[in-house]
Amino acid sequence: MKIIIACLATILSLSLLPAPAAAAPQSASDERETDPAVLKKLEWFEDAKFGLMMHWGPYSQWGITESWTICSEDEPWCRRTLPDYIAYKKAYEALAATFNPVKFDPAKWAAAAKAAGMRYVVFTTKHHDGFSMFDTKQTDYRITGPASPFRTNPRADIAKEIFGAFRREGFGIGAYFSKPDWHSPDFWAPEWATPDRNVNYSIDKHPERWRRFRDFAYRQIEELVTGYGPLDILWLDGGWVRPQPMIEVAPGTYVKNARNMNIDMPRIAAMARRHQPGLLIVDRTVTGRY
């Protein structure tokens, strides 16, 4: 079972990112999946073998990697074309106002993927930058939002169009969703600087802020599992958003972690599988049941 789950994360993953600091050992008692519907879907996935993971969003206009250039970490995938971080981030977010893919034709993509022998698709409904490629009601920073020139197009709900086109070709359908959201003021609070990919405040000091963000993510995922037809995979990225009450600062020495980003995966999974029985859930890089 662990091999199958690991394969799901490995096969779908397009980028390799460093793992968060080691956490204190946790119980393995809840690591194995027991739901017969989920186990049956795992058998389907193991047999499918070959699929398409697709990143697409306003950043594609610049031909850059998704989201990471607005993260101020000193990593190769975070490098920017402008030295001024604030000016760059403003220009990046303005891409939403010029993203107008009028030649969008997912039927061609589905036909090409089918011809290549692919059997499932995982589409990025939202990456870390927070721009939603679906008609979420939780934020205006979306493809159907008031600033989007594509909002009046009859195919404006891009995720719905992609899922429908691939479903008609017999594909399994996966929704990629980023747990972190760098556009949300409850993840990257505007009062403070954003030194890295994590929340930029202490959750211990501001628990109500983290609660708002956790509910925001929950509601967006609920929109996906209730309004976009049958889904086979919910692929959650941003593995640093995880329960991590303690961090190891020296071999065998643990201290309290003020950024214990517990997004409550059991709550999310229960809701998602209530609407989509048997749904595969990938909580990328996070050990345990998902």
Residue 288 in any domain: the answer is no
- Range list of H helices, the chain: 2-12, 36-48, 85-94, 106-115, 158-168, 207-227, 265-275
Phi, psi of 216 (to 5 degrees): -60, -50
Identify any residues that bridge with 132 across adjacent strands, giving them in sequence order: 126, 142
What's the first-to-final CA gap in the chain, in angstroms? 11
The answer to whether residue 230 is domain-embedded is yes
| 290 domain residue, yes or no | no
Q: How far apart are CA 133 and CA 73, in angstroms?
A: 25
Rounded to the nearest 5 percent, the helix, strand and coil shares of the chain are 35, 15, 50
Q: Is residue 264 part of a domain?
A: yes
* 23, 74, 91, 93, 124 from 62: Cα distances, Å: 37, 21, 11, 12, 17
Q: Quick check: 149 and 98 in contact, CB under 8 A?
A: yes
pLDDT of residue 82: 87
pLDDT score of 211: 98
Residue 64 lies in a domain: yes
Q: Is residue 289 part of a domain?
A: no
For the whole model, what pTM was predicted? 0.88
**Within the chain, which residues score under 70 in pLDDT?**
1-30
Closest among 269, 282, 49 to 175, alpha carbons compared: 282
pLDDT in tens, 235-281: 999 999 999 888 887 888 888 888 899 999 999 999 999 999 999 99
Total domain count for the chain? 1
CA torsion 190→100→219→223, rounded to 10°? 180
Q: Which residues pair with 255 in a beta bridge?
A: 247
Dmax (CA) for the chain in angstroms is 57
pLDDT for residue 23: 41
Query: Residue 67 is part of a domain; what is its CATH number?
Result: 3.20.20.80
Domain extent, residue 264, equals 2-14+22-283
| pLDDT tens, position by position, 176-210 | 999 999 999 999 999 999 999 999 999 999 999 99
| Domain assignment of residue 154, yes or no | yes
**Tell me, what's the pLDDT at 5?**
39
Structure tokens at 242: 């995880």
Q: Report the candidate in 94, 81, 183 with the shortest Cα–Cα distance to residue 132.
A: 183
Which 8-state DSSP code applies to residue 142?
B
